[in-house]
Structure 1
Amino acid sequence: MKNPNDGFVKGRLRSIKFALKGLWLLISTEDSIKVQFTIAILVTFLGYIFSISPSEWMFQFLAIGLVLVAEALNTAIEKVADFVHPDYHEKIGFIKDIAAGAPAFATIIALIIAGIIYLPKITLLLT
């Protein structure tokens, strides 16, 4: 909640504190984020092993960010939906299914980017 007595800098620092708390809550409590974060660490190691180019690093980190942001937003939407209507409701289920589609799209795009980056390198390694 915004404190009217906070100046610009103090308000930004409070925002950063809340953002870091949110990151910690996601990583420490949400299984889907734990899985995606672990995959992000693994593909980062793969990037070092395969010496990917700066532009490949850029696309890889954009893909990682896309997936993690989509997972975080999906989690937030599901938490709000469960809070608003804790029992099963067809419309809430529909909303949650749509929200779950966002990380699915992001993951498909991330897999395509990973294929473009790593398949040629793996093919060269195997030949």
Structure 2
Amino acid sequence: MPTSFIKGRLKGCVYAFKGGILLLKTEASIQVQFGIAILITIAGFYFQISPTEWMIQTLCIGMVMSIEGLNTAVEEIADFVHPDFHNKIGKIKDIAAGAVGIAALIAVIVAGIIYVPKVF
């Protein structure tokens, strides 16, 4: 039993990795956010941000990219269930996109708190 549990978790990690790669290969929004994450990481090294700032920055990057992944999943499911335009499907997609927008706004605010004092 413990062996099958470990194998199941490892299999889950493989699926998660595949999903992340699929997102990066196929979704323009994730590609842009990944590029921004790389730039902000480079800025972190350049400005020598503190360990606490690194933790918060990393959490923000993970939050935005994770919610974007969930948004993509919601859109894919909605398109599969109802491929034609439907007001309720549109509302669901807008709400999911709004969640990404909120996360991105918070990440921008955090980046401002971290980097504005270092630049000026």
TM over 0.5: yes
Please state if 1:43 is matched with 2:40.
yes
Supply the RMSD in Å over aligned alpha carbons.
0.8
Give the unaligned 5+ runs of structure 2: none
Shift of 1:60: 0.4
Choose the corresponding residue for 1:22, options 19, 22, 35: 19
1:101 aligned counterpart, secondary structure: helix
Deviating beyond 4 angstroms after TM superposition, the runs of 4 or more aligned structure 1 residues are: none
1:51 aligned counterpart, secondary structure: coil
- TM superposition score normalised by structure 1: 0.91
- TM superposition score normalised by structure 2: 0.96
Give the unaligned 5+ runs of structure 1: 1-5
Alignment size in residue pairs: 118
Name whichever structure is richer in helix by fraction. 2
Please state if 1:12 is matched with 2:12.
no
Which is higher, the Rg of structure 1 or of structure 2? 1
Please state if 1:111 is matched with 2:108.
yes
Q: Aligned partners of 1:54 and 1:9: how far apart in 2?
A: 32
Q: State the identity as a percent.
A: 60
Q: Aligned partners of 2:58 and 2:11: how far apart in 1?
A: 27
2:17 aligned counterpart, secondary structure: helix
Q: Which has the higher contact order (CA 8 A, sep 6+)?
A: 2
